[in-house]
Structure 1
Amino acid sequence: MADYQTIRAGAGTRTAQVDEGLRSHMNKVYGTMSVGMIITALAAWSISGLAVTETGELSQLGVAIYASPLKWLIMFAPLIMVFAFGAAINRISAAGAQMFFYTFAVLMGLSLSSIFLVYTGVSIAQTFLITAIAFAGLSLYGYTTKRDISGWGTFLIMGVIGLIVASIVNIFLGSPAIAFAISTLGVLIFAGLTAYDTQKIKTDYIQHAQSMDREWLHKSAIMGALNLYLDFINLFMFLLSFMGNRE
């Protein structure tokens, strides 16, 4: 009987340690993501200000990043960096991964800076607030639900690939109907990914809690932060296409 009580007490201690570690891990994920969001917002706002002169015309910087071939590099560079980060995550240090993420956040800010020239500041702020509320609810669902939603992953990733292809095609077609369909599907897909990625971060930690070292945990938190950051940014951009008031 004493042996059983000892075993049960030991199991309870390990469970408590996992729960405490999970909370710390999720705080690290959300904290890193939040810092990335702040960096992106500041970079986008600052660059948009430098891109326009006092008369409302594009400055030399504005012409370079919005009206020259450089705009294509700026547009696709974040996507390239995401793939590069996924390929290099196991070879770089945790400090290197964190620096990579923050550099990516700056580049994303450069890529998104044009929204301050296209949409009113009030509509951007309103859409950001709505996105934040929706993201919090979706992420909370992914964290607390007892339902296994890992099966969503394949369909959601296929949906993202379809969105990328359709968006590239529509750059040349310029179809409002296709743009509307892309935005509608984008909101649904990244809403699903927010819940899916949150649950995946949680389950990955629980499954490897006993074997993961600190370096891996740090990199895992950064990778999780990147996934949720991308979910938030894309959800925000697709909602902005519906809710944003143009200048």
Structure 2
Amino acid sequence: MSNFRADMLSKVESRERNILKNVYIWMTAGLTLTGVVAYFVATTPALLRLFLGSAFSLIFIVIAQLVIVGFLSARLERMSSTAAIASFIGYSVLTGITLSVIFYAYRGPVISRAFFTTAAAFAGMSLYGMTTKRDLNGLSHYLMMGLWSVIIVSLINFFLKSSGLYYLISLVGVFIFLGLTAWETQRIKQLNATYASEMDEETYIKISIMGALSLYLSFINIFLYLLRIFGRDNR
């Protein structure tokens, strides 16, 4: 009996490593696709006019992004792994289109600095979430409250146009998404554990995709907030 339990735990731990590896592979693939699309759109005037030439086009793309995230979150268990992969790829492409404007808003050194700082900070917090014995579920409630506060204050500052508040929002946003990175990494491990030895290939892929999307979103948001901070410092 003890040998059976040890064997099962070994399989769960092995699958956990594989899931996390797949999560990071998919996340990296999504970020790479986003970067390629963003640069291609930014350097192709016809595409830039097509996608971002009107408020209607931009609003449509943003709504499509929200629909994809909502679709994945609500229907993950019922959708096929192929649909999950297609949704993630579609989201990465749409994000690339919306992020193409950063090549006009910020200089190359600022973008590079923000990206490499994001990569280092993200890796550190994801590693913490992977290795810590502390349960981060309690922290997630405060992080979500903080995130909603940032969204509300950002809307208020849209009218106030306070540069100091803009900078503060960006700093707080970075720390919130760093915290979410650690929590999301731990949550992937916990989700793997709940299936014990009963996870099939479809579920394995879908969990990998959902985990990749969660960490992808955190990475992108950290990057955007750091762009705002470094862009302000270089003015």
TM over 0.5: yes
- After superposition, the C-alpha distances for 1:89-117 in whole angstroms (9 at most, x for unaligned) are 23320111001000000000111110011
Q: Is the 8 A contact 1:65 1:74 kept in 2?
A: no
- Report the Cα offset of residue 77 of structure 1: 3.8
Quote the RMSD (CA, aligned, Å): 2.1
Q: Determine the C-alpha separation between the residues in 1 that align with 2:5 and 2:124.
A: 32
Q: Determine the C-alpha separation between the residues in 1 that align with 2:47 and 2:207.
A: 40
Q: Determine the C-alpha separation between the residues in 2 that align with 1:76 and 1:179.
A: 24
The residue type equivalent to 2:168 in the other structure is: A
Q: Determine the C-alpha separation between the residues in 2 that align with 1:170 and 1:83.
A: 27
SS at match of 2:77: coil
2:100 — aligned with what?
A: 113
Q: Does 1:13 align with 2:7?
A: yes
| TM-score normalised to structure 2 length | 0.91
Q: Does 1:102 align with 2:96?
A: no
The residue type equivalent to 1:83 in the other structure is: G
1:229 — aligned with what?
A: 216
The residue type equivalent to 1:33 in the other structure is: M
When residues 75 and 169 of structure 1 are mapped into structure 2, their CA distance, relative to the original with a 3 A threshold, is farther
2:41 — aligned with what?
A: 47
When residues 227 and 60 of structure 1 are mapped into structure 2, their CA distance, relative to the original with a 3 A threshold, is closer
When residues 172 and 85 of structure 1 are mapped into structure 2, their CA distance, relative to the original with a 3 A threshold, is farther
Aligned with residue 141 of structure 1, among 116, 128, 132: 128
Q: Is the 8 A contact 2:42 2:48 kept in 1?
A: no
Q: 1:40-189 maps to which residues of 2 (within 5 A)?
A: 40-51=34-45, 61-62=48-49, 65-66=52-53, 68-189=55-176
Identity of aligned residues (%): 38
Q: Is the 8 A contact 2:170 2:226 kept in 1?
A: yes
SS at match of 1:211: coil
Gaps of 5+ in 1: 1-6, 52-58
- Report the Cα offset of residue 21 of structure 1: 1.0
Gaps of 5+ in 2: none
